[in-house]
Amino acid sequence: GAGVSQSPSNKVTEKGKDVELRCDPISGHTALYWYRQSLGQGLEFLIYFQGNSAPDKSGLPSDRFSAERTGGSVSTLTIQRTQQEDSAVYLCASSLGRGRYQPQHFGDGTRLSIL
C-alpha cells in the first residue's frame, strides 16, 4: 500500500517568506508526527496529532511554526517569516493509534533551503 507522502520534496525560498509543507499519512493511521532534521543530526520532534485530540505542540521552536491536520488525515506545517536557521529536512511520520508500541512510518521529507 501507499506510504507516507510529503510535498514538495524540495523547497527553496527567500528569508522572510512563508512556506507550507504537506503530509499525507498512511490511510487508517490516526497518529501523525512532524520532525525536522538538520544536516548530519538526529531527528528533532516538532508536533504530534492523535485523532481529534488537541495536538502536542511542545516541540515547535517558535511561534512562527504552526501545523494543522484537517479531517484527521492530511497535515500542513506552516513556517512564517522564514529564517536561515529553518533550513532542514522536515519529516512527517504516521502510526496506528497513539500506543507507544506502534512503530512510526516516515515519508522522505521536504528539504527546505532558506536563502
Partner 1 sequence: DAKTTQPTSMDCAEGRAANLPCNHSTISGNEYVYWYRQIHSQGPQYIIHGLKNNETNEMASLIITEDRKSSTLILPHATLRDTAVYYCIVRASESNYQLIWGAGTKLIIKP
**Contact stretch for partner 1 (CB under 8 A) within 12-20, 41-49, 64-72, 73-81:** 41-49
Single out the residue of 26, 107, 112, 114 in contact with partner 1 (rule: CB under 8 A).
107
What is the rounded distance in angstroms from the CA atom of residue 17 to the CA atom of residue 10? 15
Looking at beta carbons only, is 74 or 80 nearer to partner 1?
74
β partners of residue 95: 31
Q: For residue 81, state whether it binds partner 1 (rule: CB under 8 A).
A: no
Q: For residue 57, state whether it binds partner 1 (rule: CB under 8 A).
A: no
Q: How far is the CB of 32 from partner 1 (least distance, A)?
A: 12
Single out the residue of 43, 57, 73, 96 in contact with partner 1 (rule: CB under 8 A).
43
Single out the residue of 38, 98, 113, 115 in contact with partner 1 (rule: CB under 8 A).
98
Q: How far is the CB of 42 from partner 1 (least distance, A)?
A: 3
For the purposes of burial, counting CB atoms within 10 Å of the CB of 101, is it exposed (0-12), middle (13-18) or buried (19 or more)? exposed
